[in-house]
A and B are shown apart, each in its own frame.
Chain A
Amino acid sequence: MSQVTMTVNGKEMSGDAEGRTLLSQFLREELDLTGTHVGCDTSQCGACVVHVNGKAIKSCTMLAMEADGASVETIEGQAEADGSLNTIQQAFQDHHGLQCGFCTPGMVMTAAALLKENPTPSEAEIRDYLEGNICRCTGYHNIVKAIMAASGQDVGAIAAE
């Protein structure tokens, strides 16, 4: 066991980790940040996506020790300072981009990374970027729509698709 320290959502936090402890496990079990979900064992589903030093990563593919000293952003830190939903979160709610909510934290974190790289992605670019995030509930329709809306694009026509 070693102590690992990282800045999570702007706050310095520490906990114990074995060499084999995954970042996803560390966030959930040691730091009690259970918004980051684990949906598979093979880095395929994307429910565990967080940002490490500004980059979206699947936290099940990184050891906690590798993130020692890093700056980590999780779903718990995404809302505005007053607690209201940020633009992406609000777009997911407005456009019914979630149902059971389990994949949602990863979707929101991935969408945030996408919009940082590409502020007005096309439908095809969004679908391509979500390749590593699986949702079983929505058929993706409203997730793609929400991300387009969050980027300021008019989605009025999509409803009439």
Chain B
Amino acid sequence: MLGVASEEGAAVCEYFENNERVWCAKWPASDQWEDNMPKDHGIGASPKRREDVRFLTGAGNYTDDINQRGQTFAAFARSNVANGAIRSVNTSVAEAMPGVVAVFTGEDFVDVGGNPAGWYIESRDGTPMKEPKRPVLAHGKVRHVGDAYAAVIAETLDQARDAVEAIEADIEELPAVATCAAALADGASLVHDEIETNMVFDWGWIEDNRAATDEAIKNAPHVTTLELVNNRLVPNAMEPRASIGDYNRGTGDYTLHTTSQNPHLTRLLISAFVMGIPENKLTVIAPDVGGGFGSKIYHYGEEALVLAAAKKLGRPVKWTADRSESFLTDAHGRDHVTKIELATEEDGTFIAIRTETLANVGAYLSNFATVTPTFLHGTLMAGNYTVPNVYVNLKAVLTNTAPVDAYRGAGRPEATYSIERVIDKCARELKIDPIALRRKNFIKPDQFPYTTPVALEYDIGNYDAVMDKLEEIGDLAGFAARRAESEARGKLRGLGVNSYIEACGIAPSNLVGVLGARVGLYDAATVRVNATGSLAVMVGAHSHGQGHETAFPQVVAEMLGIDEGQIEIVHGDTSKIPFGMGTYGSRSLAVCGSAVVRATEKIINKAKKIAAHMMEAAEADIELKDGTFSVAGTDKSVAWGEVALKAYVPHQFPIEDIEPGLEETAFYDPANFTYPSGAYACEVEVDPETGKVTVERFAAADDFGNVINPMIVEGQVHGGLGQGIGQALLENCIYDDDGQLLSASYMDYAMPRADDVPFYAVDHSAKTPCTHNPLGVKGCGEAGAIGSPPSVVNAVVDALQSGGHDVTHIDMPVSPSRVWAAMQK
């Protein structure tokens, strides 16, 4: 059992019950609060996003928008072979080029540390995972196309790029391995010679389940087997990565502006592992960041390079990736090859699930490359179902490709896709309606908290209620008529449905520590009340599209009963924020939002003490409502602003009992993961002449627990659906056998465009609030990308079968050529 739901949340609820603010599990169902608490502000309202005005007027402040006095520019020399021995790197011509101020090679960084993996994994036989060093610049060997082995710093960007062309590198091309199968073949060339294997680990989850699962499958009346590929993707945040290093020789302070989802983690990695810069001498600032989707969680070598160069030159050094560099060097996502078996009774009751997966981790271990395919994947392999036996085997494999790490959903989309595709195939084999088969095996509401065979404890959920909602909003009853209409036009129409569950709100530190995490996964917030009553809330989460600047004030305003406009969110600057683990894993509100709640509670407690003193009343009698402190049963009151002012102008102040000032910090470490769940339905039309698939309708019913800002939540789902439909129909990151990236631009990598997707029907009203955090929230950022790919593929298979084609599976992306080829069999 990996998580324990605690009573912590209940204590908070009780606290607010005294203030007539009933939260958490006791919060009324949304259909009630929408009537009873019509909202134009606070929790449950959808105020317009305050950050939008700057983005809509060109006044955003992204890293590449920043220019510093005396700034120089960096450009990188990158390998054009996937595997090569560096015989020599001659920089003398480049150094003499106009404007060039410095050239760095891998040799300059042999003495600094490697960029580490953040999670330790043990193989089934107890041996430790292999951890090859990941240097700032390649030295001795280049290991993937795009691997940087030198960098030029020049007065202008064009001069730096020109000089890169003049670097003479003698790199002997060696045989490359681009796929897991090639990397594990006998005699395969090694990505890292020193570890003597390309296998990072061979992981089993849970090893104790193995024998029973094998036995159950052997004896089962029915076993459905499916081999599938979870296609490799490139995250493609629209803002390419960028970094500016600066060094103050007067103070010895470094400043790094960078495109990061978690500036504190970047600071920690640079300080403790890579460069040894003391944390107190390094400020990391992630200003406006143009999307991340996982790719900007990690520390990359370019960040270390610009800092080292800035120190050497005493001038700021700026680097901005072009899109080709993004394709070649951003951490990619997915890339699993899986065999899954689902054993059932003849009536469809699930008996066992067993999977074998090869996960491509690329040429180096990115910071979370080892946890993404393991604990974020294997632990979800029971899905939304009661299945007594589950065993997952996963081999992580080094190849001569860009590193692979968490991309929106991170492991959970891979789990969901495998489970929900095999269930669909099973339903067809057993001739059971796919929705009925899922409902038959759902964990039922009275079974929560529910411990799965793969060790998670789901705290709460109601999967039938979500499926009911899906059938309603997707008008699934009307599908037959729509299919008839499509067929009348000569098209095939299919309906695909699936469920999903994810583990979010990452994560309980004690728990992940046991499992191998090398970091804690709490978050932090400081609430600072200014003397005039306005507030600054410093949060460890980072907003790069999620709308924290709007949503977090809704929580604080609700608690204090004041106007949201008085509350400012500060994020993305390690010099201003206590600490933070950043934004990924749908954790911002569930973890950092909970820290905001805790810090605000402390503010309320202290403010009540001050108010009690001001009104000469007992602290226990003080009530806070609508921004006013009053003494119960009297007409005495003081306004919020008066209490704030008293804290900073502490005349006639009980200085022996209360410190001046009004500022509080809280760190929040969750008791368990949160478990958002949902049910999705996709309707496609297939053109039998061309194999082209169009998504005609898409419906998503989600249970995110309580929702702070419905507008933002729906937007998050839309975005996830766009990416999930993109994975299912369009996107494919392809390396050839020699490790050349064939899909390295938007000319070759098919990004979803506006005419590839429909309007989506989304709903989050079938909710079961999280039981263990004070807001009852679960997280919504990854759901769409996790839940949508299987329903798209299920729908395509359904369409083809309706046309008499004996097709049981097509790998993603379900492109016209693949569909057409499947139809010709």
**Interface residue ranges, A against B (CB under 8 Å):** 18, 20, 28-29, 32-42, 44-45, 47, 74-76, 78-79, 85, 89, 92-94, 96, 98-105, 108, 123-124, 126-128, 130-131, 133-145, 158, 160-161
B711: nearest residue on chain A (CB-CB)? Answer: A96
Q: Can you list 19 pairs linking A and B with CB atoms under 8 Å apart?
A: A35-B57, A38-B64, A39-B239, A40-B746, A74-B58, A78-B57, A89-B57, A93-B48, A96-B49, A99-B291, A99-B546, A102-B238, A103-B238, A126-B754, A131-B753, A134-B753, A138-B718, A140-B754, A160-B761
B696 to chain A, nearest CB (A): 12
Asked if A20 meets B754 with Cβ closer than 8 Å, knowing A101-B52, A102-B290, A142-B715, the reply is no
Contact between A127 and B755 (Cβ–Cβ < 8 Å)? Answer: yes
Q: Does B343 belong to the interface (CB within 8 Å)? A: no
Kindly count the residue-residue contacts between A and B in the assembled complex, taking CB atoms under 8 Å apart: 193
Q: Does B224 belong to the interface (CB within 8 Å)? A: no
Q: Does B51 belong to the interface (CB within 8 Å)? A: yes
- Among B546, B718, B754, the one with the most A-chain Cβ atoms within 10 Å of its Cβ is B754
CB-CB contacts below 8 Å: B278-292 with A: 288-291
Q: In the assembled complex, which residues on chain A have CB atoms less than 8 Å from the CB atom of B745?
A: 40-42, 44
CB-CB contacts below 8 Å: B720-741 with A: 720-723, 725
Contact between A137 and B58 (Cβ–Cβ < 8 Å)? Answer: no
CB-CB contacts below 8 Å: B260-308 with A: 288-291, 293
Q: Does B747 belong to the interface (CB within 8 Å)? A: yes
Complex formed: what's the CA distance from A105 to B752 in Å?
A: 19
Contact between B723 and A136 (Cβ–Cβ < 8 Å)? Answer: yes
Q: Does B712 belong to the interface (CB within 8 Å)? A: yes
**Interface residue ranges, B against A (CB under 8 Å):** 48-49, 51-60, 62, 64-65, 67, 158, 236-240, 288-291, 293, 322-324, 544-547, 711-712, 714-715, 718-723, 725, 745-747, 751-755, 757, 759-761, 784
Complex formed: what's the CA distance from A37 to B293 in Å?
A: 19
Q: Which one, A39, A75, A93, contacts B49 given CB within 8 A?
A: A93
Q: In the assembled complex, which residues on chain A have CB atoms less than 8 Å from the CB atom of B293?
A: 136
Complex formed: what's the CA distance from A100 to B60 in Å?
A: 10
Contact between A136 and B237 (Cβ–Cβ < 8 Å)? Answer: yes
Q: Which one, A93, A100, A141, contacts B544 given CB within 8 A?
A: A100
Complex formed: what's the CA distance from A98 to B712 in Å?
A: 10
Q: In the assembled complex, which residues on chain A have CB atoms less than 8 Å from the CB atom of B719?
A: 99, 136-139
Q: In the assembled complex, which residues on chain A have CB atoms less than 8 Å from the CB atom of B759?
A: 123, 141, 144-145, 158, 161
- Among A28, A40, A45, A143, the one with the most B-chain Cβ atoms within 10 Å of its Cβ is A40
A81 to chain B, nearest CB (A): 13
Contact between B238 and A39 (Cβ–Cβ < 8 Å)? Answer: yes
Contact between A45 and B754 (Cβ–Cβ < 8 Å)? Answer: no
Q: Which one, B48, B57, B64, B322, contacts A79 given CB within 8 A?
A: B57
Contact between A100 and B239 (Cβ–Cβ < 8 Å)? Answer: yes
- 8 nearest CB pairs, A to B: A35-B58, A101-B55, A139-B722, A102-B290, A100-B545, A44-B746, A99-B545, A75-B58
A109 to chain B, nearest CB (A): 10
Asked if A35 meets B754 with Cβ closer than 8 Å, knowing A135-B238, A136-B238, the reply is no
Contact between A41 and B322 (Cβ–Cβ < 8 Å)? Answer: yes
Complex formed: what's the CA distance from A94 to B64 in Å?
A: 28
Contact between B57 and A85 (Cβ–Cβ < 8 Å)? Answer: yes
Complex formed: what's the CA distance from A38 to B238 in Å?
A: 9
Q: Which one, A32, A92, A139, contacts B760 given CB within 8 A?
A: A139
Contact between B784 and A139 (Cβ–Cβ < 8 Å)? Answer: yes
- Classify the secondary structure of A's interface with B: loop
Contact between B55 and A98 (Cβ–Cβ < 8 Å)? Answer: yes
Complex formed: what's the CA distance from A31 to B519 in Å?
A: 44
- Among A35, A78, A133, A140, the one with the most B-chain Cβ atoms within 10 Å of its Cβ is A140
Complex formed: what's the CA distance from A102 to B723 in Å?
A: 17
A1 to chain B, nearest CB (A): 11
Complex formed: what's the CA distance from A78 to B239 in Å?
A: 22
Contact between A39 and B755 (Cβ–Cβ < 8 Å)? Answer: no
Q: In the assembled complex, which residues on chain A have CB atoms less than 8 Å from the CB atom of B53?
A: 85, 93
Q: Which one, B58, B239, B754, contacts A143 given CB within 8 A?
A: B754
Q: In the assembled complex, which residues on chain B have CB atoms less than 8 Å from the CB atom of A79?
A: 57
Q: In the assembled complex, which residues on chain A have CB atoms less than 8 Å from the CB atom of B712?
A: 96
Q: In the assembled complex, which residues on chain A have CB atoms less than 8 Å from the CB atom of B239?
A: 37, 39, 100, 102
Contact between B323 and A42 (Cβ–Cβ < 8 Å)? Answer: yes
Contact between B58 and A40 (Cβ–Cβ < 8 Å)? Answer: no
List 8 additional A-B contacts (Cβ < 8 Å) besides A96-B49, A96-B712: A34-B64, A41-B322, A41-B324, A41-B745, A44-B746, A102-B239, A140-B757, A141-B718
Complex formed: what's the CA distance from A76 to B752 in Å?
A: 28
B745: nearest residue on chain A (CB-CB)? Answer: A42
Complex formed: what's the CA distance from A117 to B65 in Å?
A: 32
Contact between A141 and B760 (Cβ–Cβ < 8 Å)? Answer: yes
Complex formed: what's the CA distance from A154 to B746 in Å?
A: 34
Complex formed: what's the CA distance from A74 to B290 in Å?
A: 19
- Among B49, B52, B58, B293, the one with the most A-chain Cβ atoms within 10 Å of its Cβ is B58
Contact between B721 and A139 (Cβ–Cβ < 8 Å)? Answer: yes
Contact between A40 and B57 (Cβ–Cβ < 8 Å)? Answer: no
Complex formed: what's the CA distance from A135 to B755 in Å?
A: 12
B46: nearest residue on chain A (CB-CB)? Answer: A96
Contact between A92 and B52 (Cβ–Cβ < 8 Å)? Answer: yes
Q: In the assembled complex, which residues on chain A have CB atoms less than 8 Å from the CB atom of B324?
A: 41
Q: In the assembled complex, which residues on chain A have CB atoms less than 8 Å from the CB atom of B746?
A: 40, 42, 44-45, 134
Q: In the assembled complex, which residues on chain A have CB atoms less than 8 Å from the CB atom of B761?
A: 160-161
B537 to chain A, nearest CB (A): 21
A132 to chain B, nearest CB (A): 8
Q: In the assembled complex, which residues on chain B have CB atoms less than 8 Å from the CB atom of A103?
A: 238, 290
Complex formed: what's the CA distance from A133 to B719 in Å?
A: 15
Q: In the assembled complex, which residues on chain A have CB atoms less than 8 Å from the CB atom of B720?
A: 139
B67 to chain A, nearest CB (A): 8
B760: nearest residue on chain A (CB-CB)? Answer: A141
Contact between A136 and B751 (Cβ–Cβ < 8 Å)? Answer: yes
Q: In the assembled complex, which residues on chain B have CB atoms less than 8 Å from the CB atom of A89?
A: 56-57
Contact between A137 and B545 (Cβ–Cβ < 8 Å)? Answer: yes
Complex formed: what's the CA distance from A91 to B14 in Å?
A: 41
- Among A76, A92, A102, A139, the one with the most B-chain Cβ atoms within 10 Å of its Cβ is A139
- Among A102, A126, A133, A158, the one with the most B-chain Cβ atoms within 10 Å of its Cβ is A102
B57: nearest residue on chain A (CB-CB)? Answer: A79
A100: nearest residue on chain B (CB-CB)? Answer: B545
A75 to chain B, nearest CB (A): 4
Q: In the assembled complex, which residues on chain B have CB atoms less than 8 Å from the CB atom of A134?
A: 238, 746, 751, 753
Q: In the assembled complex, which residues on chain A have CB atoms less than 8 Å from the CB atom of B545?
A: 99-101, 137
Q: Which one, B56, B322, B323, contacts A104 given CB within 8 A?
A: B56
A92: nearest residue on chain B (CB-CB)? Answer: B56
Q: In the assembled complex, which residues on chain B have CB atoms less than 8 Å from the CB atom of A127?
A: 753-755
A141 to chain B, nearest CB (A): 4
A50 to chain B, nearest CB (A): 10
A83: nearest residue on chain B (CB-CB)? Answer: B57
Q: Which one, A35, A37, A143, contacts B290 given CB within 8 A?
A: A37
Complex formed: what's the CA distance from A70 to B754 in Å?
A: 31
B500 to chain A, nearest CB (A): 17
B751: nearest residue on chain A (CB-CB)? Answer: A134
A16 to chain B, nearest CB (A): 11
Q: In the assembled complex, which residues on chain B have CB atoms less than 8 Å from the CB atom of A35?
A: 57-60
Contact between A130 and B723 (Cβ–Cβ < 8 Å)? Answer: no
Q: Which one, B52, B723, B747, B754, contacts A93 given CB within 8 A?
A: B52
Complex formed: what's the CA distance from A152 to B714 in Å?
A: 23
Q: In the assembled complex, which residues on chain A have CB atoms less than 8 Å from the CB atom of B757?
A: 139-141
Complex formed: what's the CA distance from A45 to B384 in Å?
A: 38
B709: nearest residue on chain A (CB-CB)? Answer: A96
Contact between B58 and A105 (Cβ–Cβ < 8 Å)? Answer: yes
Complex formed: what's the CA distance from A37 to B60 in Å?
A: 10
Complex formed: what's the CA distance from A74 to B57 in Å?
A: 9
Q: In the assembled complex, which residues on chain B have CB atoms less than 8 Å from the CB atom of A33?
A: 58
B779 to chain A, nearest CB (A): 16
Complex formed: what's the CA distance from A33 to B58 in Å?
A: 8
Q: In the assembled complex, which residues on chain B have CB atoms less than 8 Å from the CB atom of A40?
A: 322-323, 745-746
Contact between B715 and A138 (Cβ–Cβ < 8 Å)? Answer: yes
A140: nearest residue on chain B (CB-CB)? Answer: B754
Asked if A47 meets B52 with Cβ closer than 8 Å, knowing A41-B324, A158-B759, the reply is no
